[in-house]
Amino acid sequence: MAHYSGLGDIFFTAPVAFGIVGALRKFLDLPKRLPRWNPLLTWIWVPVLVLYLAAQAFDFWSPKLGDAYWLLVLGMVMAVLLAVRDYRPARSLLLAMGPLVLYKLVEYVLETPQGKVPKQYDSALDTTQAFVIIWLVTFILIARNQKKTLEKERLLREEEEKAKRLIEAQNAQLEHLVAERTAALTNQAEELRAALTELRTTQAQLIQSEKMASLGELTAGIAHEIQNPLNFVNNFAEVSAELVTELEEEREKPARDLELEADLLADLKQNLQKIHQHGGRAASIVRGMLEHSRASSGERVPTDLNQLADEYLRLAYHGLRAKDKTFNATLKPDFDPALPPVEVIAQDLGRVLLNLLTNAFYAVKQRQQRAEPGYAPTVSVSTRRVGEEVEIRVKDNGTGMPESVQAKIFQPFFTTKPTGEGTGLGLSLSYDIITQGHGGTLAVESREGEGTEFVICLPL
């Protein structure tokens, strides 16, 4: 057990204390944890110098002054540990220093002014000193392991923070890329929206063009078809005028022939009925043209499909003949007389029939131009009831179509006609009118070189 007995021993104690404090500063990283206290610890040697100068000046020295210096050093160490007690290794060192400080206090109290401890306490103090040393070393090792663990945790946290910053940087970069991509997609969407608007406008114009084309076909047919009732009206009107003249002459005669007057009146009445009948026929044709040309109301009304099909069969035929007077074809209407009225949008279904029949006459005309021996252009329209459906068939013995064409025949803008003779929308619009507008079906059956048949099925 060490005791300080002379002035020179304190100069041995000072370096040891300075080394302990230096190790503590390094171990606890006091420059960072206690920036204010850290500079003061470097002056731990000042009390030694003061004691030395005092001893020289007053020619006095007591061994207990050295122990007091040790207690001062231990007190400063305890104060430092308490200041950084939030640091786990510092708490372990605080526990390690507790028994040592207590031991030094007891030893200081028991020592005589000459620095001696009574013999009766030597054994107990030696045992206590051994325990204190073991306790101190144990907790120093624990604190050292704790510091290593904390250092590993710190490094791990730094790695995590580094990874987190890297992820944040990558996220920021990704967000930037996403923002750029979103802006690009937004621009593309705007361009597509503008293109779609333009496409719809163009589509509406093409649909209108197709309607005008069919209206032209219809007008040509009407001009030819309306000529018959107008001729009848003109002829009967002329005959009626002659009958009126005869009747007036007969009434001016002194001896009137009442029987002749009655016959003339009867003929006049019959002529007026014929004029009314053919005038009604002409009015019906004009009304059909107006219904075809105006926008569809979308309202379904009970319609005589036989009359509608027959009317458009003749209109389509005469429309083609108005363009080519040399063209002739056989018309074969075959209508079911028991067919009930069907609720349809008449002007829309009329457009479909006109389109199918115009295509049929075009096909037979194309085949006729090949000058095949014995060929007779024929177009037929038939109606019949099949269960709860009505079937309309438009058939021709024209050029026909290969299977590759049949697969695309209802696609928009697809046409087999030469450029300038078709828009490619007629059959597409017809398909939409039948399937979407009436809930029916439109199918095609064709053999190349033999003819084509379109089949319309409408629910009753």
Q: Is residue 104 over pLDDT 50?
A: yes
Question: Degrees (nearest 5) of the Cα angle 64, 67, 70?
Answer: 155
pLDDT of residue 12: 63
Q: What is the CATH number of domain 304-460?
A: 3.30.565.10
What value does the mean pLDDT of the chain take? 77
Three-state SS for 391? strand
Q: Is residue 420 over pLDDT 50?
A: no
pLDDT in tens, 174-221: 998 998 889 889 889 888 888 888 877 776 666 656 555 555 555 655
Per-range mean pLDDT, top range of 140-154, 359-373, 382-396: 382-396
* Model confidence band, residue 6 (pLDDT cutoffs 50, 70, 90): very low
pLDDT of residue 347: 80
The tokens describing 433, both together, are: 């009118």
Q: Are 6 and 51 in contact (CB under 8 A)?
A: no
Residue 18 neighbours by CB distance under 10 Å: 17
* Model confidence band, residue 223 (pLDDT cutoffs 50, 70, 90): low
* Model confidence band, residue 4 (pLDDT cutoffs 50, 70, 90): very low
pLDDT of residue 394: 92
pLDDT in tens, 280-291: 766 666 665 555
Q: Is residue 292 over pLDDT 80?
A: no
The span from the CA of 42 to the CA of 21, in Å, is 8
Query: Given the DSSP bridges, would you call strands 378-386 and 330-334 parallel, antiparallel or unpaired?
Result: parallel
pLDDT of residue 383: 92
pLDDT of residue 417: 63
Q: Is residue 381 over pLDDT 90?
A: yes
The tokens describing 299, both together, are: 């309202």
Q: Which range is least confidently modeled, 140-149, 176-185, 418-427, 438-447? A: 418-427
The span from the CA of 136 to the CA of 98, in Å, is 9
pLDDT in tens, 253-268: 777 777 777 777 787 7
Q: Are 381 and 311 in contact (CB under 8 A)?
A: no
pLDDT of residue 295: 47
Q: Is residue 142 over pLDDT 90?
A: no
Between 6 and 440, residue with greater pLDDT: 440
Give the distance between the most distant pair of CA atoms in the chain: 191
Q: Average pLDDT, stretch 325-342? A: 88
pLDDT of residue 143: 80
pLDDT of residue 391: 92
Nearest C-alpha neighbor of 291 from the set 306, 274, 303: 303
The span from the CA of 224 to the CA of 361, in Å, is 16
pLDDT in tens, 25-47: 787 777 777 777 777 777 766 67
The span from the CA of 154 to the CA of 165, in Å, is 16
* Model confidence band, residue 96 (pLDDT cutoffs 50, 70, 90): confident
Between 413 and 15, residue with greater pLDDT: 15
Residue 428 neighbours by CB distance under 10 Å: 19
Q: Where are the domains of the chain?
A: 9-166, 226-294, 304-460
User: Over 81-119, what HEC string results?
Assistant: HHHCCCCHHHHHHHHHHHHHHHHHHHHHHHCCCCCCCCH
Three-state SS for 443? strand
